[in-house]
Amino acid sequence: MTPHLSRRFLLQSAILAAAAPAFAHAAVGRAAAAALPAPSAWTLRPFELKDVSLGQGVFANKRQLMLDHGRGYDVNRLLQVFRANAGLSTGGAVAPGGWEGLDGEANGNLRGHYTGHFLTMLSQAYASTGEQTYADRISTMVGALTDVRAALRTDPRMLTVTGRWGGAHENVRGSYQYVDLPAPVLGGAAAITLSTWVKPTHDANWQRVFDFGNDTTRYMYLVTRNAGGVPRFAITTNGPGGEQGLNGTAALPLNQWSHLAVTITGTTGTLYVNGTAVAQNTSMTLNPSALGTLTNNWLGRSNYSGDPVYAGAFDEFNVYSRALSAADITSLQSNEAKKSSAGLGNLASYYFSATSGGTFADASGRGLTATLRRTWGAPSHAGFLAAYPETQFIDLESRTSPDYTKVWAPYYTAHKILKGLLDAYLATDDARALDLASGMCDWMYSRLSKLPEATLQRMWGIFSSGEFGGIVETIVDLYSITGKADHLALAKLFDLDKLIDACAANTDTLDGLHANQHIPIFTGLVRLYDATGETRYLTAAKNFWGMVIPHRMFGIGGTSTAEFWKARGVVAGTISDTSAESCCAYNLLKLSRMLFFHEQDPKYMDYYERALYNQVLGSKQDKADAEKPLVTYFIGLTPGHVRDYTPKQGTTCCEGTGMESATKYQDSVYFKSADGGSLYVNLYSASTLTWAEKGVTVTQTTEYPKEQGTTLTFGGGSAAFALRLRVPVWATAGFRVTVNGQAVSGTPVAGSYFAVSRTWQSGDIVRISVPFRLRVEKALDDPSLQALFHGPVNLVARSSSTSHLSVGLYRNAALSGDLLPSLTPVSGKPLHYTLNGTEFAPFSEGTEDPTHAYVRRAEPTVVFGTVSSGVANPAKADGTTLLDEIWAGAPFANKAALVTRVRSTSAAWVSAGLLTQAAADTVVSTAQQASYVS
């Protein structure tokens, strides 16, 4: 019987058979090309960041803030969590906190992701500026991560630090390390002393100095801090309810050596801290002999799995089969044990300074060698690199429900690290970075390729825990360098078929989904289409884009509320303080850019301009800070919302993508056609393009969007190609192009590209005029709730009111339909206006002013040219008012054309019973009397 072969198996087999020869020349460690090879499926090609330099303006100013941050931040803080996880010295560095540290949200289960973002930011900064500082920082990080991977592949080794008497061993917090002692260590003694020097480095409660036990029923422990924050010793054969204990009186100081000792003899137990007896229990009935032979004899680890591993150093641990005297304990304060009156422990004695490996010799003469271990078991598998153990990845494979306190998107974090390494390689040619990236993919393939397809589908469908970001895109990018068939096969293992099939069939199933978990899936699908030619991927990505834009899009270009999507067409109904997660806009820009490479539909770049000039720019605060990137997580769109540029200590996913955005503003200003016959000018932004293949430069001089147009000046040699200039979809009138002062014939169409073909010479000047007008965009589910736009710029009201402002805009509308004359310009502040005493300013300004991105449209009476008719402005059932319908006919050639529109519209409303004839006559008369701006 022929076995059933899944679609995944068949596709992978085809990939494995066909893919390898395509990149047979590629090898890990070779010198990197200047950029990733462009897929043959792309009809357009991007320029490298080094080919486009930014001129003075809003983009350069915002970027400079991020460049300064990248230059000044201590990268050892980012590396701390990686080094700690590997048991390496952290050099005293303190992790950033927030999501990037052990104390972060969900137990720090996303730590490591931010390091990847930072590597990408540094790589883009270096590619753009050539400044060696960024390359040096990249090299430091790549070198450290190389050391980390090597350490994770071996058994843990002693980390030597300065001790009380010489060398000592430190358990770095986050290393999950403990010392495993042989079973006979307590020797069944009825009388006993346990003595040690400790230097705790963290103040978490219930960190065990030692714990000898079988489980949570029979054990004996000493902690640096109990629930009250003081040392505690306890022994029990009946669980926590049967503990016989000794509690200290004061907390142990952090980062200082303290001596702890416990003695038991007869019914008396005593706890000493730094030579002083701080607690005594004379009613004890338990001692080590009552415990029997124990299986878990640990220094630094608890038999309770939820307790933290001890963070700090050990110097000398001695176990005696007698209760030392107070004088002996005192002697241990000023002498090494071997020089004290107590001498070395006769049951066990460890110096912690006699090895550089992972074992500690016993000086008691009993030969009880101790072994350093990790709580998560054996060394990691080849290629594994993370700031936490493999346990998150293992847990995900059997997980059926989300719990980010246990597993928080391990493959998402892997993506950020992988992307940062790949970008580092492309920017600096550092073969170590490529080796690390390739090794990560080898490791992922070795895990995921062994899982049943049903398991993979379940994993990727779990909210949060199964999120994997843009990992597919990055894996395919890596494959284009390495040519490893396993890498392309790995990319296919992330297929979430339910989502892909629905979008390929143009069936909208997005309601209720986590937005940023799913947007980057589609950038990966586009790249899979590039690599495999499977049209299902590209079709799904195109259809998905159309499900979000405009149906789930806010005016600024963002999407999502509290990270999730609501029903299609619901915009006003999703406005909240947690609207427009910044990562969503970042990933939608990437998707729009990729789709435009395949199909030059101007809608993709119209969206790109909208989101870039509004949400992306507005998400970066206009302020310098060495410690924080100052980028928003959510952009609340509720009335009077004040943007938070330092959420969760500044280490969220959105701060990460915000760093990346600010160092690649120029990546989509220009594209070239695959055949070199066209240059696309997508964005009007001060910049200079060096098109090496053509031997020309194109310098764009503009203050856009403060300036309503731009100037292109050609330099270098001569070259023939078509210059394709984007005509924004909102530029409905007046778009004009001149070359060397002469008007170019043709009729530019809004929402298209206007082509100018010629042989360009050095000194040629192209002037582009892009007249702005003030317009409104209505929320799909509430037309009265509107966003104001002047050209590409979203104008937001600055007001502390927490209710939507009522705004009327027709009172002095121009014959062109431009609503701007109803506003008053603010002198000396371009793109700032006032209306009824309220200032309106560009959303892109990164201030902490309370803002209103949406206003409530209110036109209570019919007004023309500031002259009121006194007639109430009637409305239809759908909210459309008489004035809405009149001005929908704009632009008007002259006043007479407007009056004609007023007359015909009023007559229609009279016929519909929505307006009396007398009121209609008054409306027409007012329109005739008023004067208008053009």
Question: 604 in the Ramachandran plot: left (φ > 0), alpha (ψ -120 to 50) or beta?
Answer: alpha
pLDDT at 195: 98
CB atoms within 10 A of CB 382: 12
pLDDT at 34: 53
Concatenate the DSSP letters of all residues of 449-465 into one string: TTS-HHHHHHHHTSTTT
Computed over every residue of the chain, the mean pLDDT equals 95
Contact 550, 603 (CB under 8 A): no
CB atoms within 10 A of CB 75: 19
Q: What are 73-77's contacts with CB under 8 Å, separation 24+?
A: 73/118, 73/626, 73/627, 75/118, 75/137, 75/140, 75/141, 76/140, 76/144
Phi, psi values for residue 22, rounded to 5°: -60, -30
At 199-226, the pLDDT tens digits run: 999 999 999 999 999 999 999 999 999 9
pLDDT at 18: 38
**Tokens standing for 466?**
């199964």
Q: What is the CA radius of gyration of the chain?
A: 34
Looking at the predicted structure, is the pLDDT value of residue 7 above 90?
Answer: no
pLDDT at 649: 81
At 614-661, the pLDDT tens digits run: 999 999 999 999 999 999 999 999 999 999 999 888 899 999 999 999
Q: How many residues can be counted in the chain?
A: 934
**Cα distance between the two ends of the chain:** 80
Lowest mean pLDDT among 17-21, 33-37, 402-406: 17-21
Looking at the predicted structure, is the pLDDT value of residue 29 above 80?
Answer: no
- Name the residue with higher pLDDT: 473 or 17: 473
| Every domain of the chain and the residues it spans | 1-30+73-154+386-488, 167-374, 670-704+709-769, 863-934
At 121-130, the pLDDT tens digits run: 999 999 999 9
Give the Cα separation of 647 and 145 in Å (integer): 27
Helix (H, G, I), strand (E, B) or coil at 30: coil
At 492-516, the pLDDT tens digits run: 999 999 999 999 999 999 999 999 9
Helix (H, G, I), strand (E, B) or coil at 120: helix
Helix (H, G, I), strand (E, B) or coil at 32: coil
At 173-203, the pLDDT tens digits run: 999 999 999 999 999 999 999 999 999 999 9
The residues near 768 (Cβ < 8 Å, ≥ 6 apart) are 684, 709, 710, 711, 712, 725, 735, 736, 737
Place 6 in a pLDDT band, splitting at 50, 70 and 90: very low
Contact 270, 254 (CB under 8 A): no
Looking at the predicted structure, is the pLDDT value of residue 679 above 50?
Answer: yes
At 792-819, the pLDDT tens digits run: 999 999 999 999 999 999 999 999 999 9
167-374: CATH architecture: Sandwich (2.60)
Place 356 in a pLDDT band, splitting at 50, 70 and 90: confident
Question: What angle (nearest 5°) sits at the alpha carbon of residue 112, between those of residues 110 and 115?
Answer: 130
Give the Cα separation of 593 and 599 in Å (integer): 10
Q: ω before 39 within 30° of 0 (cis)?
A: no
Place 107 in a pLDDT band, splitting at 50, 70 and 90: confident
pLDDT at 197: 98
670-704+709-769: CATH architecture: Sandwich (2.60)
At 525-559, the pLDDT tens digits run: 999 999 999 999 999 999 999 999 999 999 999 99
- Pairing type for strands 855-857 and 806-807 reads parallel
Region 899-907 average pLDDT: 98
Contact 820, 814 (CB under 8 A): yes
Region 398-419 average pLDDT: 96
